[in-house]
């Protein structure tokens, strides 16, 4: 009888240990992916929206366990009152996810991503150090507007100065 109880306890410990390890391992993958990209979203006057306000910011530091990321999908956010750098946690995060985070409807916008026009940017994956300019459909933009989007040097400077995170990819 005691032998069977011992076997049951061992099996339960192995199962619980496996579940714990599996869940911890999956969330660690999402936490390990962290990089940055820059962007501007233009208003109807071709002026970049000011997204540096607290209403757009995540107040928890990157990697803070209290603000756990979706282990499967990940998340995007802004913080440190920097409204033109997106923090990406998850290798499959898309520019449409940024618009969802900002609560902006993406259907009224076109994009130039890394100097390439992209009318259907919603499903385009955000890569480290990407540069994106979002402008209203029907508007025309010139290269000076795209050149106003922060470049890689700016992103790297922000990473060095950031109070709450730095890049782990790139």
pLDDT digits (tens, 9 = 90+) for 45-104: 999 999 999 999 988 766 554 444 455 578 999 989 999 999 999 989 999 999 999 999
pTM of the model: 0.75
128 pLDDT more than 50: yes
Q: Are 39 and 32 in contact (CB under 8 A)?
A: no
For residues 161 and 79, give the distance between their C-alpha atoms in angstroms, rounded to a whole number: 12
Residue 166, C-beta contacts closer than 8 angstroms, at least 6 positions apart: 159, 160
The yes-or-no verdict on residue 44 having pLDDT over 50 is: yes
What value, to the nearest 5°, has the Cα angle with vertex 134 and ends 132 and 137? Answer: 145
Q: Where along the chain do its domains lie?
A: 33-161
Across the chain, mean pLDDT equals: 83
Residues composing the chain? 170
Residue 133, phi then psi, degrees to nearest 5:
-120, 120
């Amino acid at each position: 009888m005691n032998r069977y109880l011992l076997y049951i306890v061992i099996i339960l410990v192995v199962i619980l240990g496996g579940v714990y390890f599996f869940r911890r391992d999956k969330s660690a993958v999402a936490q390990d992916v962290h990089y940055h990209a820059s962007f501007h979203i233009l208003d109807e006057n071709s002026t970049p929206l000011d997204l540096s306000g607290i209403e757009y910011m995540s107040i928890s530091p990157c990697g803070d366990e209290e603000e756990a990321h979706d282990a499967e999908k990940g998340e995007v956010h802004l913080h440190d009152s920097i409204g033109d750098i997106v923090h990406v946690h998850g290798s499959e995060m898309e520019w449409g996810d940024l618009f969802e985070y900002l609560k902006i409807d993406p259907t009224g916008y076109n994009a130039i991503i890394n100097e390439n026009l992209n009318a259907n940017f919603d499903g385009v994956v955000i890569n480290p150090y990407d540069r994106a300019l979002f402008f209203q459909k029907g508007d025309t933009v010139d290269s000076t507007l795209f050149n106003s989007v922060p470049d890689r040097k700016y992103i790297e400077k922000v990473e060095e100065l950031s109070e709450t995170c730095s890049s782990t990819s790139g």
